[in-house]
Structure 1
């Protein structure tokens, strides 16, 4: 690889060069959108990806591990060859090691040869993603301990499962990745223990809703250990993980999976002097342009975003946001105009047949930003009570005490529970009050919901609580 000067080889005028760091959702969405707007004669696009795969669904990895998704390639939306056929110079297994902002260039190293070279840019996209939290504990890097963030990680884990004789697994952490990996390992026939620092799983929920998740996981045969700090991974004579240690116990393990969460991968950005927020993510404007840098954009898991409910910056690493932000970046880098207004914090997950959803603020979020609120919790069913297959559902709702504005919703239930959170996500984005929500014209038929949808039952109860508080 050598650095070219960005000059047209056919004698035409100088082409602009867009350099993209990161070949997954945000980066390649940006590159693809920019290419749609400007052809190869006008804009050269060079993208760097340090891994083996491009444009894949990291969210699908637990379902690949579980066997629900049979083939790895089903998770790949677009291969490097497909990107190259569309006029994007995608360089795989090539890691950017330095951003020279003043010189408008990046240094990259080829993983195969070790060769390093500089590539100049007119416009730069930073889409370096996030890295799994891997605490500095004894034995944390031992064979048999796996993180789950990339397709490479998924391949390594599946290979490890195939070579492992024992059937005991310990998952460290009980967030989205933790509970999804617990399900995947249960489906593979493992005895699963989940060790979590919090008293309840799913810290994205309030503890009372997290308790419902714990009870359901216990019912599935998962051993839940809450309120416990992991002190290390114990190894056997062969150097492989054999147990996870806490302050007062050991949990035997043939496989250890880390599901502690992720942090923005912004070491390159930090070294280059680009602005970072309190959560360690890059700070951008609404056009996803890095603050203070006219020709540098950033998107995906490496950025912080505006929470439209609290008005504060958050790190919300989700593929939905990464793809949208990539579209915005590509539009702007390609000469158009687009903005990413922010998020309300919507997320859904499942563990076996239990569906888990949240959007907006938890109680502690609302307290942290100084909001006074009312909270209600209701029990309902997914369908009309008399219709076959109706299953229980718990909905928790927060509303601002003075205005009645919806602040957040959490839902735990079986079939049909999780996607109901989209009603609340739209209401939050629109700034509706809980009173206004009670009049929403939602679809109804006995196979789909009771006459009063569970979300609207919660809104009625919240509206009454707000009225009493006034």
Structure 2
């Protein structure tokens, strides 16, 4: 009987376990032996659900786990939790791992094929007090558990969130639900740097209306601690001091690629692994990578960038698993679609911001419209702002941002499809979208923006600077 091929997967969350599971569906244990390493306590979980677990909206951690370790093992996947891979030896086809639950015992495991799915790490700048007790990053279920324990044991009810990106605003909401007085500090002119500043201003207004103190233009210089236990007690900026019983970091993430870099695998400008369309690592025949540790191709600009989202990670895993098993699948790229919320405010974007379009050398027009989520006369119609970017001369859609209440965020999917198809704003105006007064005005807000953008493109003609 032939010896089975050996597949090793580093990382037991979305991309890694999707790859392992997909490979197992294509090949049984007699043809493929699958070993997966995960340094945490959990596998195949929804990191996106952590703010809602912390906020008490959903149960956790079990409710956030899509497939348990036992379920993976029942499918003949040798999943090793609390085991950290410390070295990749490409020349000999093996990885070294350390058993975190057994005193750090180290072993080598050989592979014929390797999947790197090490995810991303929360940014933790080298500031005084940043590693003190009471300061929390939020990336894994283990992080979520630590934060919940910290909230329950906090001496008071004051929380400071550093950073006002997706994680920052979602954690601000979670802390409000927990009864904390919340201050959000951010260096930018407005919260949500994933939006243009004019749209970020709408988010700020809504957050302030919910009782969240939003301080922008705030450069954090350190975290003050008490003298007895070294516990965080305040966050200091260049201009002020903000008392805190709990500090949460919402500064974004970076690809976790130190292990891959040490092995000599190629990284892109953002620090993410570079792969081909099949998600095979550049220059490596038998190494694949996916999830938050890789760069992806931006379908609007053609450039590569790092976008950490579970939706992409799951797709990466499906593609990798098929290819590892001898099939064929590709991941062409993304348009940068993301949605979020803070309390009842919905936030969405896809495609390029103004700054990104300029950096790509594109000339463009922008329009912003205000409409409603339903027919204006229908009960509970809520206001919605839609901003749209279109390329000058061609009218090609470049990006859309939406801020509004119920019914706003998922409208961005219309624009995401249009971007993927390379549509112009003129073509978008003819889209046959569903209509009934409880769901939309006769002209959907996205189409109203497309009409206005088309008029702006026509007005600019093809000559002169933007």
Are 1:65 and 2:65 an aligned pair?
no
SS of the residue aligned with 1:349? Answer: strand
Other-structure match for 2:88 = 99
1:129 to 119, 122, 133: 119
Other-structure match for 2:241 = 250
1:393 to 384, 391, 408: 384
Within 5 A, what are the aligned runs for 1:196-211?
196-211=186-201
Are 1:272 and 2:263 an aligned pair?
yes
Deviations 1:174-223 (A, max 9, x none): 00000000000001110000000111000000000000000000000000
Other-structure match for 1:115 = 105
SS of the residue aligned with 2:16? Answer: helix
CA distance in 1 between partners of 2:238 and 2:362 (Å): 37
Deviations 1:357-411 (A, max 9, x none): 0000000000001000000000000000000010000000000001000000000
TM superposition shift of 1:70? 2.2
CA distance in 2 between partners of 1:76 and 1:117 (Å): 28
Stretches of structure 2 lacking an aligned partner (at least 5 in a row): 462-466
CA distance in 2 between partners of 1:173 and 1:277 (Å): 25
Other-structure match for 1:160 = 150
Over aligned residue pairs, what C-alpha RMSD do you find? 0.5
Other-structure match for 2:367 = 376
1:224 to 198, 207, 214: 214
Within 5 A, what are the aligned runs for 1:136-147?
136-147=126-137
Are 1:326 and 2:317 an aligned pair?
yes
Other-structure match for 1:295 = 286
TM-score, reference length from structure 1: 0.97
Deviations 1:203-260 (A, max 9, x none): 0000000000000000000000001110000011221000000012100000000000
CA distance in 1 between partners of 2:178 and 2:82 (Å): 31
Are 1:362 and 2:353 an aligned pair?
yes
SS of the residue aligned with 1:378? Answer: strand
Deviations 1:402-456 (A, max 9, x none): 1000000000000000000000000000000000000000000000000000000
Other-structure match for 1:457 = 448
Deviations 1:124-164 (A, max 9, x none): 00000000000000000111100000000000000011111
Runs of 4+ in structure 1 over 6 Å off: none
CA distance in 2 between partners of 1:322 and 1:255 (Å): 31
Stretches of structure 1 lacking an aligned partner (at least 5 in a row): 1-11
Are 1:439 and 2:430 an aligned pair?
yes
Other-structure match for 2:9 = 20
CA distance in 1 between partners of 2:198 and 2:20 (Å): 43
Other-structure match for 1:9 = none
SS of the residue aligned with 1:47? Answer: strand
TM superposition shift of 1:165? 2.5
Deviations 1:239-287 (A, max 9, x none): 1000000012100000000000000000001000000000000000000
CA distance in 2 between partners of 1:70 and 1:221 (Å): 25
CA distance in 1 between partners of 2:239 and 2:196 (Å): 27
Are 1:304 and 2:295 an aligned pair?
yes
SS of the residue aligned with 1:81? Answer: helix
CA distance in 1 between partners of 2:189 and 2:395 (Å): 31
TM-score, reference length from structure 2: 0.98
Answer with 412-421 or 113-122: which moved more.
Answer: 113-122
Other-structure match for 1:4 = none
CA distance in 1 between partners of 2:49 and 2:319 (Å): 24
SS of the residue aligned with 1:411? Answer: strand
Answer with 148-157 or 68-77: which moved more.
Answer: 68-77
SS of the residue aligned with 2:448? Answer: helix
SS of the residue aligned with 1:158? Answer: helix
TM superposition shift of 1:14? 1.3
SS of the residue aligned with 2:328? Answer: coil
